[in-house]
């Protein structure tokens, strides 16, 4: 067995855990965490990008960090929306000589300007995606450097979301890393994506055909003899198949793409919660035989369809989706939620019998999708195109950018089945519909295998409801409108338009664990009284009607967890949307949680 084959499982484990390896052999792609030792000021500061700027009076913070975790969750819609500055020193190791150095931010809300040693690297607009800047020319190895980041979460007419029913927490709220790559490497600038994209051409019990697309580049000043090697390993780390593309001569400063088809016979398929089996694909770049870069991605072999009469099928078998929506925030953390807290969220969803998740209304941390892969969830992800759009070229360009980032960064997660292009647009007008038409085509151009979707709160005749492959409706029968549930509405729509692939993207009611009423009856929705018993009754009625209608391809409770919406003053918690089945601190499961648990943990 070659040394590489022996080491591959270790490398896979290291990359799966996303921690810098401590092995003696140098990794081809060293990653250094820059989460510690930041100075922070919650206001604007003229000249703070200059290396010598005096930040001694600023507070000391580590990232992930949210600057309005407190004032964004107490009501009054008066939380801080403005500028904050972050600065830190960094001394990259001299051992990185010859590498290209990328500063990577996994999430900054909403607009970030980044400088190194007073030189501006760039601006990123959009609060939910990973982005990277090339800092090779500005970072000095073995010496002190200053990274400065100006962040603003102020309202911006050109960056969605413009308005929404959730708090726009500000700050550098996910990890920051320094990634060092060889000049001959997988491309780093591809909308923050991994540069390796796995497209499942066909998957059956007999075989799976997967295209491995690698976007690479040669940043050396001379021509290189490049090879791309793709290796599929199973869950034990054993090599299933490996293929090396023909050597190609790549000129200096040139990108090159390689597509390699791999066949896996008698695959163990990714079967949702029944068996979320994962292979991995490792792509290595070689320069005249020397491995210069290595990227490992998860591979779950599965196929899915949605039928207007019979709903969602996974690998040819009908699968009833027990879905919930979830935001990313949590009491006292704002959006800066740790991986351990994400695991707790999945433990709660597992306990309740959830098997489908809509990550409303934006891209969430990679760990969320990793956990969904590993635990077998079917996921709907979306861009934050909520409520309304601006009629500007800049707004449209930013929505398109956020969609490319969403799709490329998450392309290889087998748990993802649906790309969402928007939520509850208020205006069924030419400007909004033209943008949705464009975004829908963009989904199919970016990804030939998955379905597009949209969450609609208007009728089926509006243009808004007619762009995507499948559709979800936000329906609040018994809450924002009268009725006991969606049954008769769904039957009427299904009878009128049998080809429409109907889902329910949201349904639910407010529920306070401190407010009670027997027998439960429909309360006034905007009141301060949200009895827990009524929330339970609404879910019981709604789910019974949903369960009797298998043509509904998927339905999603609004919401798994209470979340911050600083503009709300309802129930007994100002600043909170209390439609969760679990409280904002994750401390209390509400009555409706137990009702679903009793009904969903039998998955027959
Ligand atoms: C919706 C929105 C969601 C809100 C929810 C509510 O339809 O899509 O963002 O939080 O209603 O609770 O009103």
**pLDDT number for residue 2:** 39
Q: Is residue 14 part of a domain?
A: no
Residue 417 sits in the same domain as residue 554: yes
**pLDDT number for residue 296:** 97
**pLDDT number for residue 10:** 39
How far apart CA 31 and CA 282 sit, in angstroms, is: 17
**Which stretches of the chain drop beneath a pLDDT of 70?**
1-26, 602-604
In a 3-state reduction of DSSP, which class is residue 145?
Answer: strand
pLDDT tens digits for range 10-44: 333 333 333 333 344 568 999 999 999 999 999 99
CB atoms within 10 A of CB 187: 19
Q: Is residue 2 part of a domain?
A: no
Burial class (CB in 10 A: 0-12, 13-18, 19+), 243: middle
CB atoms within 10 A of CB 339: 15
CB 425 within 8 A of CB 389: yes
- 380 within ligand 1 shell (Cβ under 6 A): no
**pLDDT number for residue 254:** 97
Residue 221 sits in the same domain as residue 153: no
Angle of the 393-410 helix axis to the 430-446 helix axis, nearest 10:
30
**pLDDT number for residue 166:** 98
CATH code of the domain covering residue 167: 2.60.120.260
- 591 within ligand 1 shell (Cβ under 6 A): no
- 577 within ligand 1 shell (Cβ under 6 A): yes
Residue 326 sits in the same domain as residue 450: yes
Residue 175 sits in the same domain as residue 196: no
How far apart CA 417 and CA 443 sit, in angstroms, is: 12
Instruction: State CA 108 to chain mean position distance.
Output: 13
- 558 within ligand 1 shell (Cβ under 6 A): yes
In a 3-state reduction of DSSP, which class is residue 594?
Answer: helix
Q: Which residues belong to the active site?
A: 424
- 532 within ligand 1 shell (Cβ under 6 A): no
Domain termination residue (choose one: 152, 181, 210): 181
CB 71 within 8 A of CB 80: yes
Whether the complex's predicted ipTM surpasses the cut of 0.95 = yes
Domain termination residue (choose one: 181, 200, 225): 181
Q: Is residue 311 part of a domain?
A: no
pLDDT tens digits for range 248-262: 999 999 999 999 999
Q: Is residue 18 part of a domain?
A: no
Domain that holds residue 517: 319-600
Q: How far is the CA of 164 from the centre of ligand 1 (A)?
A: 8
In a 3-state reduction of DSSP, which class is residue 133?
Answer: strand
CB 576 within 8 A of CB 584: yes
Domain termination residue (choose one: 138, 154, 181): 181
CATH code of the domain covering residue 503: 3.20.20.80
The count of structural domains within the chain is 3
In a 3-state reduction of DSSP, which class is residue 552?
Answer: coil
Residue 74 sits in the same domain as residue 152: yes
Residue 217 sits in the same domain as residue 355: no
Q: Please choose from 162, 165, 457, 511 the residue to mutate so as to test ligand 1's pocket, defined by most ligand atoms within 8 A of CB.
A: 165
* Residue indicated by tokens 């793409």: 257
CB 166 within 8 A of CB 565: yes
CATH code of the domain covering residue 202: 2.60.40.10
What DSSP state is assigned to residue 561?
B
* Residue indicated by tokens 């959730």: 166
Q: Is residue 489 part of a domain?
A: yes
Helix H or strand E segment including 436: helix 430-446
Beta-strand pair 471-474/451-456: parallel
**pLDDT number for residue 26:** 62
Residue 474 sits in the same domain as residue 423: yes
How far apart CA 472 and CA 484 sit, in angstroms, is: 19
Q: Using the atom order of ligand 1, give the atom closest to the CA of residue 361.
A: 9
Residue 92 sits in the same domain as residue 147: yes
Give Rg (Cα) of the chain.
24
**pLDDT number for residue 9:** 38
Atom 3 (ligand 1) nearest CA: 165
Q: Is residue 471 part of a domain?
A: yes
Q: Using the atom order of ligand 1, give the atom closest to the CA of residue 565.
A: 10
Q: Where are the alpha helices (DSSP H) in 259-418?
A: 339-352, 366-375, 393-410
The most distant pair of C-alpha atoms in the chain lies apart, rounded to whole Å, by 79
Q: Is residue 11 part of a domain?
A: no
E-assigned strand segments in 219-368: 224-233, 239-244, 248-250, 254-265, 279-287, 290-299, 304-307, 311-314, 317-318, 322-325, 356-359
Atom 4 (ligand 1) nearest CA: 165
Q: Is residue 204 part of a domain?
A: yes
Could you tell me the CA-to-CA distances from 24 to 12, 27, 251, 295, 469 in Å, in that order?
A: 16, 9, 33, 19, 50
Residue 245 sits in the same domain as residue 130: no
**pLDDT number for residue 479:** 95
Residue 295 sits in the same domain as residue 323: no
In a 3-state reduction of DSSP, which class is residue 338?
Answer: coil
What DSSP state is assigned to residue 315?
T
Residue 119 sits in the same domain as residue 213: no
Residue 249 sits in the same domain as residue 346: no
Q: Using the atom order of ligand 1, give the atom closest to the CA of residue 577.
A: 12
**pLDDT number for residue 131:** 98
How far apart CA 337 and CA 545 sit, in angstroms, is: 35
- 362 within ligand 1 shell (Cβ under 6 A): no
Those residues whose C-beta lies under 8 Å from the C-beta of residue 570, and which sit 6 or more positions away, are 510, 525, 526, 527, 528, 530, 576, 577, 578
């Amino acid at each position: 067995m070659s040394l590489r084959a022996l080491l591959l499982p270790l490398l896979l484990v290291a990359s799966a855990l996303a921690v810098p390896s401590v092995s003696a052999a140098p990794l081809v792609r060293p990653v250094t965490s820059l989460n510690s030792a930041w100075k922070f000021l919650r206001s604007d500061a003229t000249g703070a990008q200059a290396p010598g700027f005096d930040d001694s009076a600023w507070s000391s913070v580590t990232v992930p960090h949210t600057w309005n975790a407190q004032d964004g969750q107490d009501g009054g819609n008066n939380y801080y929306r403005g500028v904050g500055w972050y600065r830190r020193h960094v001394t990259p190791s001299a051992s990185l000589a010859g590498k290209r150095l990328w500063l990577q931010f996994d999430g900054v809300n909403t607009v970030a300007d980044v400088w190194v040693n007073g030189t501006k690297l760039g601006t990123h607009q959009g609060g939910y995606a990973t982005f990277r800047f090339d800092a090779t020319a500005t970072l000095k190895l073995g010496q002190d450097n200053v990274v400065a980041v100006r962040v603003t979460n102020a309202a911006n007419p050109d960056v969605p979301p413009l308005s929404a029913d959730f708090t726009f927490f500000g700050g550098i709220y996910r990890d920051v890393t320094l990634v060092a790559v060889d000049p001959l490497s997988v491309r780093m600038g591809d909308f923050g994506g991994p540069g390796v994209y796995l497209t499942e051409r066909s998957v059956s019990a007999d075989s799976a055909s997967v295209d491995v697309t690698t976007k690479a580049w040669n940043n050396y000043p001379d021509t290189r003899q490049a090879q791309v090697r793709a290796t599929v390993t199973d869950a034990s780390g054993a090599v299933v198949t490996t293929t090396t593309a023909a050597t190609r001569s790549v000129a200096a400063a040139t990108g090159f793409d390689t597509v390699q088809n791999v066949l896996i016979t008698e695959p163990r398929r990714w079967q949702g919660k029944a068996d979320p089996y994962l292979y991995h694909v490792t792509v290595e770049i070689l320069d005249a035989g020397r491995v210069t870069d290595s990227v490992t991605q998860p591979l779950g072999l599965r196929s899915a369809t949605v039928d207007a009469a019979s709903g969602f099928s996974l690998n040819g078998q009908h699968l009833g989706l027990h879905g919930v929506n979830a935001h990313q925030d949590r009491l006292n953390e704002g959006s800066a939620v740790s991986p351990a807290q994400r695991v707790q969220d999945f433990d709660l969803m597992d306990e309740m019998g959830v098997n489908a998740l809509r990550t409303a209304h934006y891209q969430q941390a990679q760990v969320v999708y990793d956990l969904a892969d590993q635990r077998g969830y079917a996921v709907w992800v979306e861009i934050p195109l909520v409520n309304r759009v601006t009629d500007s070229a800049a707004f449209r360009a930013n929505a398109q950018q956020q969609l490319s980032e969403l799709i490329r960064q998450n392309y290889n997660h087998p748990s993802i089945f649906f790309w969402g292009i928007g939520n509850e647009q208020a205006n069924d007008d030419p400007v909004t519909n033209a943008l949705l038409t464009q975004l829908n085509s963009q989904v199919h151009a970016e990804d030939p295998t998955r379905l597009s979707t949209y969450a609609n709160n208007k009728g089926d005749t509006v243009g808004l409801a007619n762009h995507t492959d499948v559709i979800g409706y936000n329906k609040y029968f018994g809450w924002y409108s009268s009725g006991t549930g969606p049954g008769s509405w769904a039957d009427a729509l299904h009878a009128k338009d049998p080809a429409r692939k109907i889902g329910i993207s949201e349904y639910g009611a407010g529920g306070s664990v401190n407010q009670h009423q027997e027998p439960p009856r429909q309360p006034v929705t905007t009141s301060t009284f949200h009895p827990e018993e009524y929330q339970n009754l609404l879910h019981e009625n709604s789910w019974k009607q949903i369960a009797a209608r298998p043509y509904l391809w998927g339905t999603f409770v609004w919401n798994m967890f209470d979340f911050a919406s600083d503009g709300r003053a309802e129930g007994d918690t100002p600043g909170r949307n209390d439609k969760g089945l679990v409280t904002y601190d994750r401390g209390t499961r509400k009555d409706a949680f137990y009702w679903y648990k009793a009904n969903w943990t039998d998955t027959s």
